[in-house]
């Protein structure tokens, strides 16, 4: 429903009937009704539909990755955002922006690929450094190092914006995320990635359920926690890197969506992961709709919308958990 609204609403409203007719025309080659103008056709098929689908798929990828990180690290505040993956992607893209480098054969994909590579490098650095500091790879070590690295990388990006003021607006937009000018090429990459990635992570549902009880109990139940944890975090980071490399840094969606799903549906990851896929995707489509309509014709970064919702939620989770611990001690 939210995905359909995101496609239909905007400066030019498109009825469900017209949207269906345009879709049938492009997918199955059916003749387009004369009452539908070429402008409506173009707005729906070339602008709205790929943008809304990109938003949905990015939201789905980030949310599923967030759910896996929270379970793997047994921490409700764990996410790709707090582990520095998003910041790493922003640094890669930022360096490409200020340097003006563009790889010829990659063309417009130079920026996304740079963001993706730096996202993966960042999480590999966090995990390897955590392993050297703490051989048992305890969860708090990974999270604390991730947050430190994230803050450090964010400071570098801020420094780049100060040193290259002419590029600061592009850096700012990347750091806050946007789905502007997304097209069917992005959808064709994100769709199989999202579906296959979610299926692979869902195959670890049993391990994720067990790991929520702690490392010692998980090991006693036959789960090789160190190996499984490394793989799940790296794979979740990989999906996050792919998602943010196309849209820029979008925080908090990977924190909020999994908690909403666990609260409404179930804590079993066989249910959590697929439901997080849809809830996270729908929430991101809604955030994108708000970002481009609330101050129309101006567009605000979608990351600002998710932060306005996610930051209070982040604070609630943190203080709620702290209060629970105090109550238990008493």
pLDDT greater than 90 at residue 23: no
pLDDT tens per residue across span 102-123: 665 566 667 778 878 888 888 8
The whole-number average pLDDT for the span 311-316 is 72
Asked whether 160 and 92 are in contact (CB, 8 A), the reply is: no
How many CA atoms, within 13 angstroms, populate the side-chain half-sphere of residue 47? Answer: 16
Largest CA distance in the chain: 72
The mean of the pLDDT values for the chain is 82
Asked if the bond preceding 229 is cis, omega within 30° of 0, the reply is no
| pLDDT band, very low/low/confident/very high, at 317 (cuts 50, 70, 90) | low
pLDDT tens per residue across span 163-220: 888 877 777 777 777 888 788 888 998 999 999 999 999 999 999 999 888 778 888 8
The whole-number average pLDDT for the span 14-22 is 79
pLDDT greater than 70 at residue 319: no
| Whole-number pLDDT of residue 328 | 45
Closest CA to 301 of 156, 171, 113: 171
Q: Which of 195 and 127 is assigned the larger pLDDT?
A: 195
The whole-number average pLDDT for the span 233-249 is 84
Asked whether 117 and 237 are in contact (CB, 8 A), the reply is: no
| Whole-number pLDDT of residue 321 | 54
pLDDT tens per residue across span 251-275: 788 888 898 898 888 889 999 999 9
Q: Which domains does the chain have, with CATH numbers?
A: 15-324 (1.10.3470.10)
Measured distance CA(205)–CA(210) in Å, rounded:
9
């Amino acid at each position: 429903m939210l995905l359909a609204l995101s496609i239909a609403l905007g400066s030019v409203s498109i009825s469900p009937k017209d949207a269906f007719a345009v879709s049938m025309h492009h997918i199955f080659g059916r003749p387009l009704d004369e009452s539908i103008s070429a402008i409506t056709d173009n707005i729906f098929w070339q602008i709205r539909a790929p943008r809304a689908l990109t938003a949905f798929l990015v939201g789905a990828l980030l949310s599923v990755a967030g759910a896996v990180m929270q379970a793997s690290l047994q921490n409700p505040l764990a996410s790709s955002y707090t582990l520095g993956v998003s910041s790493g992607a922003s640094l890669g893209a930022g360096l490409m922006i200020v340097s003006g480098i563009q790889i010829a054969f990659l063309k417009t994909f130079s920026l996304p690929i740079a963001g993706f590579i730096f996202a993966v490098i960042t999480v590999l650095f966090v995990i390897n450094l955590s392993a050297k500091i703490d051989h048992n790879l305890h969860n708090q070590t990974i999270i604390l190092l991730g947050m430190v690295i994230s803050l450090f990388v964010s400071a570098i990006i801020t420094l780049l914006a100060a040193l290259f003021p002419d590029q600061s607006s592009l850096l700012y937009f990347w750091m806050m995320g946007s789905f502007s000018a997304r097209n069917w090429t992005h959808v064709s990459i994100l769709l199989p990635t999202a579906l296959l990635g979610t299926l692979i992570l869902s195959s670890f549902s049993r391990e994720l359920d067990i790991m929520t009880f702690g490392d010692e109990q998980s090991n006693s139940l036959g789960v090789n926690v160190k190996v499984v944890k490394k793989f799940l975090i790296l794979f979740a980071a990989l999906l996050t890197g792919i998602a943010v490399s196309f849209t820029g840094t979008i925080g908090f969606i990977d924190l909020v969506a999994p908690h909403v799903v666990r609260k409404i549906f179930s804590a079993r990851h066989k249910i959590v992961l697929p439901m997080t896929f849809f809830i996270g995707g729908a929430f991101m489509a809604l955030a994108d709709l708000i970002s481009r309509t609330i101050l129309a014709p101006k567009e605000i970064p979608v990351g600002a919308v998710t932060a306005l919702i996610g930051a209070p939620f982040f604070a609630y989770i943190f203080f709620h958990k702290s209060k629970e611990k105090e109550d238990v001690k008493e």
